[in-house]
Amino acid sequence: MSQAVGINFKKSSIDALIAGFMALVLFGPIVGVVLDGYGFNTEFVRVAWMVAAVAVGRFIMSSFFQTEKGIAMAFRYANNDEGVEVLKPGHKSKMVWIIPLVIAIGLLVPFIASKYVLTVVILGLIYVLLGLGLNIVVGLAGLLDLGFVGFYAIGAYGLALGYENLGLGFWSMLPIAALMAAVAGAILGFPVLRMHGDYLAIVTLGFGEIIRLILTNWASFTHGPNGVSAPLPTFFGLEFKRRSSDGQTFHEFFNIPYDSAYKYMFIYIVLFAVVWAVLFIKHRLVKMPIGRAWEALREDEIACRSLGLNHVLVKLSAFMLGASTGGLAGVFFATYQGFVNPSSFTFFESALILAIVVLGGMGSTLGVVIAAFCLTVLPEVLREFAEYRVLMFGILMVVMMIWKPRGIVRVTRTGFAARKGVVK
């Protein structure tokens, strides 16, 4: 192919004009018309700036992609959907330094961020947990679960009702809720895991709805739509309230003035630790026999059975581990909100968690973390566009399915160094 090295400025100009016109259509009504009481002001300058920025940007981009470098770059990214890559044996990622960096930044966040930012990050981390849990079920084991929010609800209501009826606090409910969610996963899973694909998706969808309906209608136990209040975590028995009826509170013990942000700081730090623990366990699981069995089951169930793997138990273990992670997230959600009611556990939440897994890349841990933050933090940042959230998700999904059908982060597989074969 003969490379036309020269840049076709005519083409670039047309591109820029089209982009500018589209920006005008898009930003004109949104930015240019500002409501002021019952009337409105028109702000042409702001629109002009935005349209100009888009047009110039498009012109530069269009010109760049006509240079040799630009062509090479476009080509490289266009060929990026070739799927799974096996790493070389003994592969060490160059990005390892990023883990301590993220931990350090993460530990600093509660002390520098405002209370509002902190609550947003906590929400993001809760969705990271949910995403990781569902990633085991959908990404690794290949079981489409549309009712994941059921386990989330079990965790959240476990904390609220456990406190109300049995006096169990945050710390005792954390493991118990994980266990309860796992047991619920087993009870749901055992009869239905013999199904595949669509049938399983419908049954799990039903399960999520059943949980929500029980929470709404069993008013004598769950208080129905009125919801239940959930307790805050305690720091070695010290409460994070302004005043405590029994015992000391956190700020009294340390002799510091009361601040309602302390409880969020504490929840954040505990949650941060739990997320890292789950990340570590997940990282180990995929290299362990059970993780390999999950992925093998996703690839070919019949072959798995022919190799002596009990497909029902393997699926059940994925379901239970995923569910228990969802339960953990539920406990954090309840304590963070201080209150739970059934409207937090609608099908939309299940769809959102599934979107996190699909966007992040099936089976990819890093991708799920990034996607969870994108899908929970971005809507908070772009508060003005909150009504368009679902529309944005839809567009994002379509765009991803076209350009990166396998998720943001490419899945890699461990390579093994050759060794001397021995058979005993």
Three-state secondary-structure class, residue 34: strand
Site for another protein in 90-149 (CB under 8 A): none
Considering beta carbons, is residue 6 or 83 the nearer one to another protein?
83
Q: Which of 375, 390, 392 is nearest to 120 (CA)?
A: 375
Tell which one of 292, 389, 404, 410 touches another protein (CB under 8 A).
292
Tell which one of 299, 386, 391, 395 touches another protein (CB under 8 A).
299
Site string for another protein, 152-181 (x = CB under 8 A): ------------------------------
Considering beta carbons, is residue 249 or 365 the nearer one to another protein?
365
- Do β-strands 228-229 and 339-340 pair in parallel, antiparallel, or remain unpaired? antiparallel
Site for another protein in 306-345 (CB under 8 A): 306-313
Site for another protein in 379-398 (CB under 8 A): none
- The interface region with another protein, picked from 8-16, 246-254, 328-336, 413-421 by CB under 8 A, is 413-421
Helix, strand and coil in the chain, % to nearest 5: 70, 5, 25
Considering beta carbons, is residue 35 or 422 the nearer one to another protein?
422
By CB under 8 A, tell whether 288 contacts another protein: yes
**Number of Cβ within a 10 Å radius of residue 24:** 17
- Per the DSSP assignment, residues forming a β-bridge with 249 are 239
Considering beta carbons, is residue 241 or 292 the nearer one to another protein?
292
Considering beta carbons, is residue 11 or 287 the nearer one to another protein?
287
C-alpha atoms less than 13 angstroms from C-alpha of 125 in its C-beta half-sphere: 27
Q: Which of 314, 136, 343, 139 is nearest to 222 (CA)?
A: 343
Amino acid at 347: F
Tell which one of 14, 290, 377, 378 touches another protein (CB under 8 A).
290
Q: Which residue has the tokens 């990271």?
A: 128
Phi, psi of 126 (to 5 degrees): -60, -40
Alpha-carbon distance of 113 to 310, in angstroms, equals 49
The encoded tokens of residue 398 equal 């379509």
Considering beta carbons, is residue 10 or 420 the nearer one to another protein?
420
Alpha-carbon distance of 85 to 104, in angstroms, equals 30
Considering beta carbons, is residue 84 or 401 the nearer one to another protein?
84
Tell which one of 160, 178, 296, 354 touches another protein (CB under 8 A).
296
By CB under 8 A, tell whether 4 contacts another protein: no
By CB under 8 A, tell whether 33 contacts another protein: no
Considering beta carbons, is residue 22 or 290 the nearer one to another protein?
290
The encoded tokens of residue 122 equal 């906590």
Considering beta carbons, is residue 259 or 295 the nearer one to another protein?
295
We find the least distance from the C-beta atom of residue 369 to another protein, in angstroms, to be: 19
Alpha-carbon distance of 208 to 186, in angstroms, equals 14
What is the DSSP track for 199-221? HHHHHHHHHHHHHHHHHHH-HHH
- Per the DSSP assignment, residues forming a β-bridge with 86 are 413
- The interface region with another protein, picked from 24-32, 243-251, 263-271, 291-299 by CB under 8 A, is 291-299
Mention every residue, 6+ apart, whose C-beta is less than 8 A from residue 339: 160, 227, 228, 229, 230
Alpha-carbon distance of 356 to 128, in angstroms, equals 9
- Per the DSSP assignment, residues forming a β-bridge with 185 are none
Three-state secondary-structure class, residue 414: strand
Site string for another protein, 64-93 (x = CB under 8 A): -------------------xx-xxxx----
Tell which one of 303, 391, 397, 399 touches another protein (CB under 8 A).
303
Three-state secondary-structure class, residue 332: helix
- How many residues sit in the footprint of another protein (CB under 8 A)? 43
Tell which one of 134, 201, 285, 334 touches another protein (CB under 8 A).
285
- The interface region with another protein, picked from 14-22, 97-105, 165-173, 414-422 by CB under 8 A, is 414-422
Considering beta carbons, is residue 160 or 304 the nearer one to another protein?
304
Binding site residues, another protein, CB under 8 A? 83-84, 86-89, 280-281, 284-285, 287-290, 292-293, 295-296, 299-300, 302-313, 413-416, 418-424
